[in-house]
């Protein structure tokens, strides 16, 4: 038994948020459902795939208090397609009746055999951060998270808090993305590995928020609290590489190049490079970009650059460059090299708290 009335738009938006924790393929049927709780003047909706759990609340006129589990996909699809009016949900004897003006949907309730609820962490330490800053930290690093399940540690991002600084690092064996920022407060020195998928959902939630996000940290879990929305995530256990040791500090070749022109040139190079291989020849103040494909043909393109140091010939996988170049914002970037078998370090001209490392391909 349960009955409440909510606004269609608010209900639909809340379901969309909670649905980010729903996975369609799971042996645990209950996880395909939303857990709905109507108490006092509030409807709380929870989705949980055990790695990430999301709970969010909206105002509701609750006539009969109660809780229920309803198939997430069906409920989301129906609510999204209703007119923007009041929606009344009544649940009785396993049937869910959704009423809106002169229409009635009847769907089935799911059996609630122990839905894993999402609750605030009890022993957490909290750090506040502005959502726009957190969003940028993730946007500029998350693409370097691996999807290779044999390297579970690198399927997450390392988040380090050190006094008033926060570092976010992702690396996949071929490249490394590292962004840092300053914090207004400090919770001491802590570090955790947050699953890449969680980071992407957090990034999306940040885009709709204006108030500070509260990050709660425990040994095996972390939570992100955005107003009436709570996201709990498992932490990945294990040792992240000592990333600072991988990043060289001195370079024998350094060029300054127009970022957009370099992106356009690499983009064109993909047309004649099925394996995404591009060769760069740095000579005097020119960067010669070449690519070749037996079936299609050749590309040769010259970009003007400013060179400090030695000439160099080196080859890269184009995709590893483009991911980070596209999220940078400065007009010019610096690319730093030593030899054609050692990593290239890319830094935007002015955004000094961002570092991207990419390994060359042997030619």
Query: Minimum distance between the CB of residue 260 and a second copy, rounded to whole angstroms?
Result: 10
Partnered with residue 290 across adjacent β-strands are: 279, 300
The burial class, CB within 10 Å (0-12 / 13-18 / 19+), for 224 is buried
Copy the structure tokens of residue 299.
């590309």
Closer residue to a second copy (CB): 70 or 312: 70
User: Distance (Å, rounded) from C-alpha 10 to C-alpha 58?
Assistant: 7
Residue 264 binds a second copy (CB under 8 A): yes
Residue whose pair of structure tokens reads 């869910």 in the numeric block: 96
Contacting a second copy (CB under 8 A), which of 272, 278, 318, 346? 272
Question: How many residues of this chain interact with a second copy, rule: CB under 8 A?
Answer: 28
Q: Taking CB under 8 A as the rule, which mask of x and - marks residues 273-312 in contact with a second copy?
A: -----------------------xxxxxxxx---------
Residue 74 binds a second copy (CB under 8 A): yes
Question: Which range, of 39-47, 106-114, 247-255, 332-340, touches a second copy by CB under 8 A?
Answer: 106-114
User: Distance (Å, rounded) from C-alpha 243 to C-alpha 170?
Assistant: 9
Residue 294 vs residues 272, 275, 277, 290: alpha-carbon distances, Å: 8, 11, 13, 13
User: Distance (Å, rounded) from C-alpha 254 to C-alpha 252?
Assistant: 7
Question: Which range, of 8-16, 179-187, 188-196, 266-274, touches a second copy by CB under 8 A?
Answer: 266-274
Contacting a second copy (CB under 8 A), which of 50, 103, 125, 132? 103
DSSP letter for each residue of 94-130: TEEEEEETTEEEEEEPBP-S--------SS-EEEEE-
Residue 104 binds a second copy (CB under 8 A): yes
Query: Minimum distance between the CB of residue 296 and a second copy, rounded to whole angstroms?
Result: 6
Query: Minimum distance between the CB of residue 274 and a second copy, rounded to whole angstroms?
Result: 12
What phi and psi, each to the nearest 5 degrees, are found at residue 214?
-100, 120
User: Distance (Å, rounded) from C-alpha 308 to C-alpha 304?
Assistant: 13
Contact status, residue 155 vs residue 196, Cβ threshold 8 Å: yes
Query: Minimum distance between the CB of residue 185 and a second copy, rounded to whole angstroms?
Result: 47
Question: Which range, of 103-111, 134-142, 159-167, 224-232, touches a second copy by CB under 8 A?
Answer: 103-111
Residue 84 binds a second copy (CB under 8 A): no
Residue whose pair of structure tokens reads 């043909």 in the numeric block: 297
Question: Which range, of 42-50, 95-103, 133-141, 153-161, touches a second copy by CB under 8 A?
Answer: 95-103
> Residue numbers of the site for a second copy (CB under 8 A)?
74, 77-78, 81-83, 96, 102-108, 264-265, 267-268, 271-272, 296-303
């Amino acid at each position: 038994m349960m009955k409440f009335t909510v606004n269609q738009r608010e209900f639909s938006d809340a379901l969309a948020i909670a649905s980010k924790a729903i996975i369609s393929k799971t042996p645990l049927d209950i996880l395909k459902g939303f857990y709905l709780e109507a108490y006092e003047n509030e409807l709380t909706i929870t989705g949980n795939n055990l790695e990430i759990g999301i709970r969010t609340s909206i105002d509701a006129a609750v006539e009969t208090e109660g809780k229920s589990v309803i198939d997430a996909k069906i409920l989301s699809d129906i609510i999204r397609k209703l007119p923007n009016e009041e929606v009344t949900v009544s649940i009785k004897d396993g049937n869910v009746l959704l009423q809106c003006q002169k229409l009635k949907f009847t769907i089935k309730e799911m059996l609630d055999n122990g839905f894993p609820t999402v609750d605030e962490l009890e022993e957490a330490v909290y750090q506040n951060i502005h959502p726009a800053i957190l969003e940028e930290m993730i946007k500029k690093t998350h693409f370097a998270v691996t999807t290779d399940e044999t390297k579970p540690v690198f399927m997450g991002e390392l988040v380090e808090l050190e006094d008033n600084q926060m570092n976010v690092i992702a690396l996949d064996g071929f490249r490394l993305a590292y962004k840092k920022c300053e914090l207004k407060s400090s919770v001491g020195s802590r570090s955790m590995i947050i699953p890449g998928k969680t980071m992407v959902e957090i990034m999306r939630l940040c885009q709709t928020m204006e108030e500070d996000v509260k990050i709660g940290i425990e040994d095996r879990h972390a939570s992100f609290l955005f107003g009436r929305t709570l996201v709990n995530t498992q932490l990945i256990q294990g040792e992240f590489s000592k990333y600072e040791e991988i990043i060289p500090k001195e370079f024998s070749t350094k060029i300054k190049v127009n970022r957009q022109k370099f992106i356009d040139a690499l983009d064109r190079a993909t047309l004649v490079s099925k394996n995404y291989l591009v060769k760069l020849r740095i000579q005097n103040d020119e960067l010669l970009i070449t690519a070749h494909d037996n079936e299609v043909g050749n590309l040769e393109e010259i970009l003007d650059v400013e060179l400090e140091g030695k000439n160099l010939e080196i080859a890269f996988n184009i995709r590893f460059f483009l991911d980070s170049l596209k999220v940078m914002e400065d007009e010019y970037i610096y690319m730093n090299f030593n030899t054609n078998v050692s990593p290239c370090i890319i830094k935007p001209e002015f955004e000094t708290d961002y570092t991207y490392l990419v390994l060359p391909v042997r030619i």
